[in-house]
Structure 1
Amino acid sequence: MTLVFWYAEEKSRSVRLKTPSITGMQGGTMDLIEKLNNIARRGQEQVDHIQNEEATKTALVLPFINSLGYDPFDTREVVPEFTADVGTKKGEKVDYAIRADGSISILMECKPLGTNLANVQYNQLYRYFACTDAKFAILTNGFEYRFYSDLDSENKLDTRPFFTFDLEDFNDQDIDELRKFTKPNFDVDAILGTANRLKYTNLAKQAIDEVFRETPEEFVKFIVGKVYEGRQTRQVIEEFTPIIKEAGKAYIKEQVAQRLRGALASNDIDTTQSTASTDSASQEAEPDDDGIITTQEEIDAYNIVRSLLAEQVDVSRIAMRDAKSYCAVLLDDNNRKPICRFHFNAKSVKRVGFFSDKKEDRIDINSVSDLFQHKDQLKATVGEYLE
C-alpha cells in the first residue's frame, strides 16, 4: 500500500493553498500562474478561430514564451523559423529557437491546436537537437507542452518527455518545474539534475493513475492476497474488483482531506465575521452572536472548496462566514456572490447548498470529501460571478 499512499500525497499537492510567483520582465513582478491562466482563458475564448498552426503560435505559443520572460519580438532571444543544414537535409526549419545566455538552449516545434502530441512525429526536433548546442526541446499544440532532453543517450533526443505542462490542467509542482525554464532562473545543470527523476516519477504517476482507473487484475490479486484468506477464484476476483476500486478512491479522498487539515494549521483563517441571513443571499447580515461555533468539518469543507477553485480564481478572494444556521463560502466576501453553504448543524444529516443564478439547491453528503464530486458546479457558480 506504500504506492497508494504516495499517489495520494502527489494528488494532494495539486490543491496546496500557497501560490508561487516569479519576477516578470517589462511589466515588473507578476504572478506566473496569473499569466498562464490568462493565456489559457484567451485560448479557450478563441478556440473556434484558432484553426491552423500560425494561429496557434500567435494566440498561445508566443504568449507562453513571453510568460517565461523571453521577448518573442527580440530575435536575439527568440529566433523564429530557425534554420540549419542537417546532413543531407538543407534549409530545414524548426519553429522557434530560444537563446539563454547568448547560445541556443531550447528548440520548439509547434503543431495546430487540438493535435494529439502522442501521435506526432518530431523529426525536425530530433535532427536539430543533435547538431545544435540546445539541451532541451519542446513539442507543443498551444495548450500542451512536452519537454525533451537527452537523458537516455547523450546528444540524442529522448523518445519520451521528462516533463509535460498543460495550460488547462496544472498544479503547484508543475509551476515549480516550469519556473526553472524562465529567463531569470534558467540553469541547464539544475534542470538536468532533477530531469531524470522527474521523468520516471511522471511515468510512475501515469502508471498508478491507470491502476486506479482500470484496476488491473494483477493489482486486485495483490490486494486480495492482503485481505482475504480464502482461495482466489475467478468469482472472488470479480467480486473484489469494484470493492478495491472504490476503496482506492475513498483512501485518496481521505488523504487529501487530512493534508488540507494540516495546511490549515499554517494558515490564519478569520471565522468570526458576520454572515448573510437569508437563503436568497441578500445583503442583510446577521448580528454577531457568541453562540456561533465554527466546526472542524466546516473548516475542512471550506479548504476543500478553496483548493477546488484555486485554478480558477485567487484563493484569497474566497471567504468564509459562519452563522447559527449555516456556514457560507463567498466570493470577494460579498453576500451577493455566494459560492455554497454548509448546513452541518443537524446531527442526522449533512447538506451543502450549491448556487445557480443565486438560487440555492441543497444536496445531502456523507462526508466533506464528497465535495470533490461537485467541482464543476462550484466552478460554474464562480464563473457566473467572474463574467
Structure 2
Amino acid sequence: MDLKLKLEQLHQRVVGLKDQINTEEATKNAFVMPFIQILGYDIFNPTEVIPEHICDIGTKKGEKVDYVIRKNNEPILIFECKHWKESADAHNSQLHRYYHVSKARFGVLTNGTVYNFYADLEKPNIMDEKPFLTIDIEDLKDNAIKILESFTKNEYNLETILDSAEGLKYIKAIRKEFEKEIENPSDELIKLLVSRFFDKPLIASRMLAFKEYAKKALTLSINESISDRLKSALNINEKPDLLVDQKVDPIDDGGDSKIITTEEELEAFQIVKAILREKISSTRIAPRDTQSYFGVLLDDNNRKPICRFHFNTANKYLETFANGKDAGDKKQIFNLDEIYNYRIQLHQTIDNY
C-alpha cells in the first residue's frame, strides 16, 4: 500500500476519533504512533522507537522527549507531541531545547493532525525557527508526501533530505513573497513589469493605476490557470464524453458550457477515491459532471453510479447507491469530511457491482 493511501486512511481515523480524544497521551496513542508506523518504524521495538526518552538539558535532569526514532542505532528523528486541539506551531521552543542536545538532525512537532518537520539549515545544531516541511493529515499535498517518503525507514537518506529541505525552505519563502505581491503589488514589481511595455515616466498617479491593473492581471492569470487545471483533471477538453453521455442517459437539455465544476466537487471526488481505493484501483473511479449533480461512476459506466454530489443548492447532499443503481439515497451533509461517514455504503455499492 502506498504512502498516500496510508495517510488518507489515517485521516479517516483522525476524523472518526478526534472528538473522543481528550488528552495528549491519547493523541499520541491514537494518531502519532500510527503515523510513525506508517513511516515503517516498529513502534513495538523500544530500540527503534523510544518513547519518553530522557533528554537532559544543562542543569535540568530528567527532561523527556516524547519519541526518538533510531536507525542503525543512531537517532534520526525526535518527536514532540501535543493534544490535537493545540496548535503545532505554538510550542517549538520546547522542541528547540530537545533538539539542541540531541544528535538527531530532524525534529517533528505535532498535534497528531499537523506534523511540522524542522532541521538546522541556518546554524549547525540549532533548530530553525520555521519548519521546512509540513504534513497536514486533513489537507494532504502530493509534493509534501513525496518529501515525506524520504523519511520512511526503507528510503531514509540524510543527504537527500537535507538537499530537499534547503530547497523547500527557499521555495516556501519565495512563495510567501509572491503571495504578498499578488495581494499588494510592490513598486519594484510594477516598475519591472511596466518598463517592458510602457516607455513613459511612472508618475504617482500612473503608479497607482498600474498597481490596480497588476493586481487584477495577477489574480485573473491565477484564476484562469486554476480553471484550466480543473478542466484538465476532468478531461473536459480531451474527452467530453466522460462528463456528458447523451447516448446512455440524457442529463440536461443544454450544452457542456452550462456545466461548472467547482473545486469543492473535485475535493469531494478525491475523498471518495480515497475511500474506494481500499477496494479497487483508482483508475476505475471516474468523474462525470452535469448541470444537476457531480457523479462518480465505476469504470466510467453511466449504469454503475457510485455516488452523486448535489452541491448546486443552498443545502449540500450526498446521494449513495448501496441499495441499487435505481434506489439513490440522498443525505444532507454540512462539510466534506462527513463523506467519510458513508464509507460502508460506498463499499457496499462496489460489492453490489
**Residue pairs, 1:127-146, within 5 angstroms:** 127-146=97-116
Assess, with a 3 A threshold, how the Cα gap between structure 1 residues 248 and 385 changes in structure 2: closer, same or farther: farther
CA distance in 1, matches of 2:233, 2:287: 16
d(CA) in 2 for partners of 1:116 and 1:321?
Answer: 38
Distance 1:116 1:252, change over 3 A: same
Partner of 1:330, secondary structure, is strand
Q: Is residue 247 of structure 1 aligned with residue 217 of structure 2?
A: yes
Give distance in 2, aligned partners of 1:78 and 1:190: 22
1:50-76 per-position Cα deviation (integer Å, ceiling 9, x unaligned): 333112212211111111111222212
What CA deviation, in whole Å up to 9, does each residue of 1:94-136 have, x standing for no partner?
110001222111111112223233332433x333333332111
1:148 is displaced (CA, Å) by 1.2
Partner in structure 2 of residue 187 of structure 1 = 157
SS at the partner of 1:313?
Answer: helix
Q: Percent identical across equivalent pairs?
A: 31
Deviation at 1:260, TM superposition (A): 6.1
The one of 288, 310, 317 aligned to 2:270:
310
Structure 2: runs of 5 or more not aligned = 275-281, 299-303, 320-332, 346-353
Separation in 1, partners of 2:32, 2:216: 40
**RCO comparison, higher one (Cα < 8 Å, 6+):** 1
SS at match of 1:54: helix
1:169 aligned residue: 139
Partner Cα distance (2:121, 2:249) in 1: 62
1:242 deviation in Å? 5.7
What corresponds to 1:34 in structure 2? 5
Distance 1:219 1:311 in 2: 42
Deviation at 1:233, TM superposition (A): 3.6
2:16 is aligned with 1:45: yes
Pairs aligned (count): 314
> Counterpart in 1 of 2:307?
337
Counterpart for residue 282 of structure 1: none
Give the aligned partner of residue 76 of structure 1. Answer: 47
Question: Could you tell me which amino acid in structure 2 is paired with residue 103 of structure 1?
Answer: E
Give the Cα separation in 1 of the matches to 2:338 and 2:258: 20
**1:306-329 per-position Cα deviation (integer Å, ceiling 9, x unaligned):** 57733553454542469xx97975
Identify if the C-alpha distance between structure 1 residues 54 and 377 changes in structure 2 by more than 3 Å, giving closer, same or farther: closer
- The question of 1:116 aligning with 2:76 is answered no
Distance change >3 Å, CA 378–CA 330, structure 1 → 2 = farther
Is 1:104 equivalent to 2:72 in the alignment?
no
- Contact map agreement 1:220 1:240 (CA 8 A) in 2: no
Secondary structure at 1:104 match in 2: strand
Q: Is 1:126 paired with 2:73?
A: no
Please tell me the root mean square deviation across aligned C-alpha atoms, in Å.
Answer: 4.3
Q: Residues of 1 paired with 2:258 and 2:87: CA distance? A: 42
The TM-score, its normalising length taken from structure 1, stands at: 0.65
- The Cα offsets for residues 295-316 of structure 1, whole Å up to 9 and x where unpaired, read as 7x79995999657733553454
In structure 1, runs of 5+ residues without a counterpart are: 1-29, 278-284, 288-293, 342-351, 360-375
Counterpart amino acid of 1:108? F
For residues 1-387 of structure 1, the aligned pairs below 5 Å read 30-123=1-94, 125-212=95-182, 214-215=183-184, 217-218=186-187, 221-222=190-191, 225=194, 231-233=202-204, 237=208, 244-258=214-228, 271=241, 275=245, 285-286=248-249, 306=266, 309-310=269-270, 313-314=273-274, 316=283, 318-320=285-287, 329-333=294-298, 334-335=304-305, 337-339=307-309, 356-357=316-317, 379=336, 386=343
Where 1:90 maps in the other structure, the secondary structure is coil
Query: How many Å apart are 1:332 and its aligned residue?
Result: 3.5
TM-score scaled by structure 2? 0.70
How far apart, in 1, do the equivalents of 2:71 and 2:234 lie? Answer: 40
